[in-house]
Structure 1
């Protein structure tokens, strides 16, 4: 079990590529530049657009919850405690955002949909949302560094995962109770849309420092920059710019406030790029393995093609060679009592090939060998047969399940296919173009015979075809 988790963790630790690091640096630069450019004008009041807030928070919730789900799936596959912490961090953030929008003033009523929520509730939920996420990243960085080994069993994965989710839900409930029902215990940080008291109370600067330390912890304590850690750093940078602009703006529906919400969108969704990419790579690998398993059970044609790729091929013609033919024939003849179909062997010889080489040169001869080899190979595939170069200008074909007459008909089709190539051969004694002679023998089902004997009988038929004038087929059996 431990070994399986180790493999999965290696998949999750895929290092970021140079291209990804450049893209992350570019995005981080754009976020920083845009945020700093908006900072001098951050307190500029803009129209209050509640639909913008609803859409932005909705996207934030979607991004956090999806990220939490995907990372938790990776935790279940790898058993790494750090991933559980990171998943719970995003779960906490997504739920806090959900509660934040439901208590936002004038969006779903004066103070939201919850009885007991007041004017300070949404503001404090914002503080807990940002502070909780930063604390979660700090815990993740520590656990990832100190507790890097996966859990040993599925039971441990389930037990600690359930405990983590339960603790997160209880924390969210407790924080909401504190923000909504415990306002009398918390200092006021917002008056209508003015929340500058967040800064004067020291809560805002503390929140920014906490976010900054979370970014430093991720940078300094996480081992290696995997794809996920790279984009998690970008998310923390966007979150820090969100906090910076929000605190500087001091009021809702200002330029800084709106730009801060855009940074929140980036912080909530950018990690998905890394996690989904890793999941996609795993899915592609599993799909490829599934495809290979399916192909292994398909027709004999595909199986032969796969076998040919894994065995020795003839260097010139790139079809199977004599060695592969010997293996196939030995396998076909190994247990005659189990062979319920007939077996046909054809030996093919190019007519007057030496004369062709002498007249057209060896390059021309090599060209003819390649053309005829692939013609024979293609015709054999149509009958789900096996073709190979036997040696020199000779080729062999092994067919299964044909009667003697059917074997002869195939031999004639093979001879006609070569003739159709219309390769000039002015030195041939048979035709003014390249032709072949075919000798074949059909072995009946269950008949025992050695490979040497079968080759000898087919070769005798080839000899007869040559003696009778070449460019013809002779099949017995």
Structure 2
């Protein structure tokens, strides 16, 4: 399970980058700066723009619920209990925000009264919403420290997840029932839009202290500067400024109250924005790795082609080599009862090649080998045959379907093609130019002869051609 955790929760596990830390610090400074600038004018009354409240709360709900869903997905993949707590915290916040907007006075007509809300319900829901979120963050930090090992099985992950979501839903339901009956069980904290009693009753300061300790708890978890804890600290800073401005303003629809709502939006969405950005970065890296993998695949394919080419071709003459000849001959020398076509083998030797090398040098010898190799290869191709370098100054040609006389004529054409090159050879015992000797053997259809004997008989004919004076061809069969 530990291995799965590292893969599945990598979005939250990876350390934050230097750019992320700089951006987080910049956003944190902006949150504090804007809040401090607004603080002296926080009690200034502004027009009651209920559409702004609807839009802001709607964005809060969207951010909280989406964050809860993504973090819960990470919990299911990793089995880390701390992620379950964090997911339930955002789920709680999203549901409480939804109930808060439903019960907000005059926003949806009499809908709040229809679901049992009283005049104090929206105010107390705000208190339980913010205090519950801060408590959830404190619980997350504690579980993350005390219970860092993932759950051991999928069954436990499912059961704990179900229990966590159920407990969250029951808590939200219980809090709503409590706040709906607030006129009877809870003290009045708001009159019209004035909620200054929240401060004088001590509830506001306690809420602020709880938010502050939640921020400290997250900040202490930034030891490794992980992406999750970095942006969670920014979210808690925004929440603390939200509570600070709200308590200081003391009235709805004041400058401090409006700025506090902006801080609420930041607190709700900063984590999900960071996660989406990180997922996008991971996707870009994955795409780049895929591109590199495709390029590597093409390079490997090209390398394989080159390897096959080098394996099958002679390095100097670049015509098929001895290995390729052995493969072709084995393929042609099928069992005698299946081979219904005659097969001819020519073995070719450059006359007095050692003398040529000694007189003209190895570079001259290499040049001659290349010229003769390509001449033999081209002639064999015209005969619908196969040519290869056999070794040293020897070459072989495999022909199919020829009679003995036709094989002799093919050998003569090869000999004449080389002679017609007119390459000077002052040390030749045959002619004053480069010549070849050819020995060949024709294997009749269904002849049970093996490959070794076939080569031996063709080589014996080559020996005869040399003994008879070179620059000639001898074919049997």
Find the aligned partners of 1:468 and 1:83 in 2 and give their Cα distance: 86
Aligned to 2:50: 50
Task: Please tell me the root mean square deviation across aligned C-alpha atoms, in Å.
Answer: 4.3
Aligned to 1:98: 98
- How many residue pairs match? The answer is 363
Q: Is the 8 A contact 1:111 1:119 kept in 2?
A: no
| 1:197 is the counterpart of 2:197 | yes
Q: Is the 8 A contact 2:241 2:263 kept in 1?
A: yes
Q: Shift of residue 75 of structure 1?
A: 1.1
Mapping of 1:22-421 within 5 angstroms?
Answer: 22-110=22-110, 112=112, 114-221=114-221, 223-280=223-280, 283=283, 305-308=299-302, 322=310
Q: 1:255-282 CA deviation, whole Å, 9 max, x = no partner?
A: 0000000111111000012222344455
Q: 1:136-155 CA deviation, whole Å, 9 max, x = no partner?
A: 10011111111111112211
Q: Shift of residue 244 of structure 1?
A: 0.5
SS at match of 2:224: coil
TM-score (norm: length of structure 1): 0.66
Q: 1:146/1:324 Cα in 2 relative to 1: closer, same or farther (>3 Å)?
A: farther
Q: Shift of residue 120 of structure 1?
A: 0.3
Q: Is the 8 A contact 2:68 2:88 kept in 1?
A: yes
Q: 1:200/1:151 Cα in 2 relative to 1: closer, same or farther (>3 Å)?
A: same
Q: 1:448/1:38 Cα in 2 relative to 1: closer, same or farther (>3 Å)?
A: same
Q: 1:40/1:308 Cα in 2 relative to 1: closer, same or farther (>3 Å)?
A: same
Find the aligned partners of 1:245 and 1:183 in 2 and give their Cα distance: 26
Q: Shift of residue 227 of structure 1?
A: 1.0
Q: Is the 8 A contact 1:96 1:125 kept in 2?
A: yes
SS at match of 1:112: helix
Q: 1:28-66 CA deviation, whole Å, 9 max, x = no partner?
A: 001100000000000000000110000000000001011
Q: 1:148/1:48 Cα in 2 relative to 1: closer, same or farther (>3 Å)?
A: same
Find the aligned partners of 2:31 and 2:151 in 1 and give their Cα distance: 38
Aligned to 1:351: none
Q: Is the 8 A contact 2:190 2:196 kept in 1?
A: yes
Q: 1:302-339 CA deviation, whole Å, 9 max, x = no partner?
A: 96643336x798xxxxx99846979x9979959959xx
Q: Is the 8 A contact 1:68 1:87 kept in 2?
A: yes
Aligned to 1:423: none
SS at match of 1:86: helix
Find the aligned partners of 1:234 and 1:31 in 2 and give their Cα distance: 9
Q: Shift of residue 12 of structure 1?
A: 2.7
SS at match of 2:115: coil
Q: Shift of residue 224 of structure 1?
A: 1.7
Q: Shift of residue 439 of structure 1?
A: 3.9
Find the aligned partners of 2:225 and 2:120 in 1 and give their Cα distance: 40
Find the aligned partners of 2:8 and 2:305 in 1 and give their Cα distance: 36
Q: 1:69/1:113 Cα in 2 relative to 1: closer, same or farther (>3 Å)?
A: farther
Find the aligned partners of 1:277 and 1:465 in 2 and give their Cα distance: 72
SS at match of 2:253: coil
Q: Is the 8 A contact 2:388 2:396 kept in 1?
A: no
Unaligned runs of 5+ in 1: 297-301, 314-318, 338-391, 397-428, 430-435, 471-477
SS at match of 2:239: helix
SS at match of 2:195: coil
Find the aligned partners of 2:79 and 2:251 in 1 and give their Cα distance: 44
SS at match of 1:252: coil
Unaligned runs of 5+ in 2: 315-319, 333-365, 399-410, 423-477
Q: 1:171-217 CA deviation, whole Å, 9 max, x = no partner?
A: 11111111112431111100000000000010101000000000101
Aligned to 1:425: none
Find the aligned partners of 1:456 and 1:437 in 2 and give their Cα distance: 11
Aligned to 2:433: none
Q: 1:198/1:33 Cα in 2 relative to 1: closer, same or farther (>3 Å)?
A: same
Q: Is the 8 A contact 2:377 2:387 kept in 1?
A: no
Give structure 1 regions of 4+ aligned residues with deviation exceeding 3 angstroms: 277-293, 302-306, 319-326, 328-337, 436-442, 447-453, 455-470
Find the aligned partners of 2:89 and 2:305 in 1 and give their Cα distance: 56
Q: Is the 8 A contact 1:333 1:449 kept in 2?
A: no
SS at match of 1:144: helix
Larger radius of gyration: 2
Aligned to 2:463: none
Q: Is the 8 A contact 1:64 1:268 kept in 2?
A: yes
